[in-house]
Amino acid sequence: MKGLLQPNAESIETLLAIDGISCAACGRRIERALVGTKGVIEANVNFALHQASVSHSAGVSGTQLAQAVAAAGYPARPITEADAVELAADEAGSAKRDFRRFIGSAIPTSLIMVVSMGWMSRPEWVNFGLLAAALTVTFVFGAPIFRAAWSSAIHRSVTMDTLVALGTTAALALSAYGLSLPAAESARHQYPESAAVIVTLILLGRALEARAKRSVSESIRSLMTRSPKQATILDADGDERLVPSSEICIGHRVRVRPGETFAVDGAIETGETYVDESMVTGEPMPVHRQAGDPVLAGTVSTTGSVVFLASHVGSDTTLARIAKMVLRAQSSRATAQRLADRVSAIFVPAILLISVLTFVGHLALGHASISAATAAVAVLVIACPCAMGLATPTALMVAVGRGSELGILVKDAEVLERASMVRTVLFDKTGTLTIGKPQLTDIHPIDQWDSDSALQLAGSVEVLSEHPLAKAVSNAAIERGLNLQPATDFRAYPGMGASAIVDGTLVLVGTPNLLIHHDISIPEPATAMLLAREGQGKTAFFVQSGENMAILAVSDEVSAQACEAVHQIRELGLDMVMVTGDNSRTAAAVGREVGISQIESEVLPENKAEIVQRYQKRGQTAMIGDGINDAPALATADLGIAMGTGTDVAMETAGITLMRSDLRSVPQAIRLSKATVATIRGNLFWAFGYNVVMVPLAAAGLLNPMLAAGAMAFSSVSVVLNSLRLKRFV
């Protein structure tokens, strides 16, 4: 829910842990209390996590926000992101408490049911005993329900607890009234079992719901338990010392033996091993890591013993950032939730009104007052706003968690929704369709120039450039043992190449346009040779110095999974476009290899965003890139997908970050989004449909309060269980 202020650069976000939330109406009221606080920009309450995310100006403190929530009847406290992750992960205690409360209620309730149903001709004193037992069940084991209802009443509001409290109290009041009647009539007006069963079934529903929500937060819990509590660090003199992982600082040397888990991020200093990175990337096969290679917290050394230098610790590790990102996405609100929010805002007051009208209507139709009261109680008990409140957040929590297990990090709920509506997918070529490591494959001198001399001059110029193709040339020269010469007056020509003075001579390395720009003619055989290399999917260009000229060709190998991923995306009915800075001939060759016919070639990096905007006119568009060079295009697209980087830029710019460089994760992410949206729609259909059907049945007197309580408990649990099906997504 948005406040009156608009987001700005100075806005900050505060997280709150909130107690006493029992239904979607609670969340709505908390949001109203927060946005009514001066300085609050936006507030979102996650009913499933019992947490709130508040965006506000710097002049508002977390304590003030907590006080505003407390004033609405819900104890709250500010928490850090790390606290939020831990609270989301620790659902076991809540589930156990709820289950113990249910067991405590179920034992006396069972006795009440046996006596009530099996001893019809019982003496009057037994009825008093049954009523006393029902009062114990209702007000002792069901105490949290009545405390919440009372708190709501004090703050002049009504919630799900209000409905249950009124329903059970009415059943007990009818029973007490029956005891005041003559013995002959008293037995016909005893409902202690109804009150006890209602409370017990409500407690059962909450226990099952807590257990289900514990499964929903499985991904957070798994992430939290991956980092070891202790690690072995090496002192300056090489002595090993076991310390808590929280005491590791940047620059510490840390020893990890086979089977042990890396506690923080870093880079291997000595040794080599195969590392199981499945927790972070979703990739099941261990990867080889040696000196200089990066390692991530939460991954496991499977074979070797290594020493690594810590580079990111605490909340800055990749694992911690993933956990925060998952929590943030799980706490975000989908567009589909807005309808449920609007309904839940008026749902409980509407049910109270329907209950009153039911009582009055039954009396008007000539029914007995007891019958009218029973129908009114059934209406109070059967209604279930909880199902509407759980419909969207539970599906999102499971989907985002499952995505993280597969190496698919989703930024927020809206990203999942947009992904399901994508019509066109744009691929950056280098590092996406290809492996992103171009290598020099050809050197063809024109006339009598020596190959090594041509490569030496080209490498002397290109070593000054950051372009990937330039790196391929300079690296090839170094690998051949050629001594690169000092170069001066280096100049880059965007889209054409570069030039520099080497040993007093101007050396050009670039496309034919670069040579034409310098009034240098290109022989026909050289042009034919260059076109032939481009027809093979290679990037070909010239190196020219004085009267000497040669053609260099660089190839970037197509990713092994690219063809399969393109095929899977086509099966989803989506259009695909390759966007590259290569010329049309090279781009067409790569397009043929991977199976993409629509190609945007010779596109400069700064123009990729314009290409995205052009395709957005046809419908929702996704852009897939490396998350760094393609940041503007990723931000412009309806859905930005960053491939296999996991960097800060990727996580902040892209809507979805793929933690492994496997293009097949793209169709998998789109299918996950479609499955999530379908689950949310199914949940909302059930939640609305249940209330639309069951409330009229209860009002018509066709459901007794006990059956109503069972149906109500089942409705919430069914929504959560339906969401849990997403845990099996592959």
Q: What is the pLDDT of residues 468-483, one digit of tens each?
A: 889 999 999 999 999 9
Give the mean model confidence (pLDDT) for residues 704-709.
Answer: 75
Residue whose C-alpha is closest to residue 191's, from 571, 709, 596, 570 = 709
Amino acid at 109: T
Catalogue the E-assigned strands of 447-547. Answer: 487-493, 497-502, 505-510, 539-545
Coil, strand, or helix at residue 525? helix
Q: What angle do CA 712, 716, 720 make, to 5 degrees?
A: 160
| Separation between Cα atoms, residue 557 and residue 552, nearest integer Å | 16
pLDDT 10s digits, 642-664: 886 545 565 667 889 888 878 99
pLDDT 10s digits, 526-565: 999 999 998 888 889 999 998 899 999 998 888 888 999 9
Most confident of 85-89, 226-230, 612-616: 612-616
Pick among 3.20.20.140, 2.40.160.10, 2.70.150.10, 3.40.50.300: CATH of 228-316: 2.70.150.10
- The total of other beta-carbon atoms located within 10 Å of residue 681's CB is 14
Q: Which residues make Cβ contacts (< 8 Å) with residue 413, sequence separation at least 6?
A: 329, 332, 333, 334, 335, 337, 392, 396
Percent of the chain scoring above 70 in pLDDT: 89
| Token reading at 80 | 């850090």
pLDDT 10s digits, 315-353: 888 888 887 777 777 667 677 666 666 776 678 888 889
| Separation between Cα atoms, residue 615 and residue 610, nearest integer Å | 9
Domain ranges of the chain: 12-79, 93-218+327-398+676-728, 228-316, 408-434+558-659, 439-555
pLDDT 10s digits, 156-167: 777 778 888 888
Mean residue pLDDT of the chain comes to 84
| Order of strands, sheet of 253-256, starting from the edge strand that comes earlier in the sequence | 240-244, 230-234, 253-256, 306-312, 265-270, 294-295
CB–CB of 461/542 below 8 Å?
no
Q: Residue 627 — pLDDT band, cuts 50, 70, 90?
A: low
Q: Quick one: pLDDT at residue 651?
A: 60
Of 442 and 95, more confident: 442
CB–CB of 305/650 below 8 Å?
no
Give the mean model confidence (pLDDT) for residues 405-423.
Answer: 88
Beta strand pairing call for 408-410 and 273-276: unpaired
**For this structure, is 276 an active site residue?**
no
Pick among 3.40.1080.10, 1.10.599.10, 3.40.1110.10, 3.40.50.620: CATH of 439-555: 3.40.1110.10
pLDDT at 507 over 50: yes
- The total of other beta-carbon atoms located within 10 Å of residue 520's CB is 13
pLDDT 10s digits, 225-239: 677 889 999 988 888
Pick among 3.30.70.100, 2.40.50.140, 2.40.30.10, 3.40.50.720: CATH of 12-79: 3.30.70.100
| Separation between Cα atoms, residue 10 and residue 513, nearest integer Å | 48
Q: Quick one: pLDDT at residue 520?
A: 93
Q: Quick one: pLDDT at residue 460?
A: 95
Give the mean model confidence (pLDDT) for residues 362-391.
Answer: 82
Q: Does domain 408-434+558-659 have CATH number 3.40.50.300?
A: no
| Separation between Cα atoms, residue 404 and residue 657, nearest integer Å | 10
Amino acid at 125: W
DSSP lists the bridge partners of residue 549 as 446, 544
Amino acid at 389: G
CB–CB of 599/615 below 8 Å?
no
CB–CB of 17/76 below 8 Å?
yes
Least confident of 99-113, 518-532, 704-718: 704-718
Residue whose C-alpha is closest to residue 395's, from 373, 378, 377, 420 = 420
Q: Quick one: pLDDT at residue 397?
A: 82
Q: Residue 183 — pLDDT band, cuts 50, 70, 90?
A: low
Most confident of 31-45, 75-89, 116-130: 31-45
Give the mean model confidence (pLDDT) for residues 426-452.
Answer: 88
| Token reading at 449 | 């120039």
| Separation between Cα atoms, residue 644 and residue 435, nearest integer Å | 11
CB–CB of 458/473 below 8 Å?
yes
| Token reading at 441 | 């494959």
Which one of 265, 276, 341, 428 is the catalytic residue? 428
Amino acid at 299: T
pLDDT at 9 over 50: no
Q: What are phi and psi of 135, to 5 degrees?
A: -65, -40
Helices (H), 90-159: 92-118, 124-136, 143-154
Least confident of 4-18, 56-70, 377-391: 4-18
| Separation between Cα atoms, residue 467 and residue 453, nearest integer Å | 22
Give the mean model confidence (pLDDT) for residues 396-403.
Answer: 86
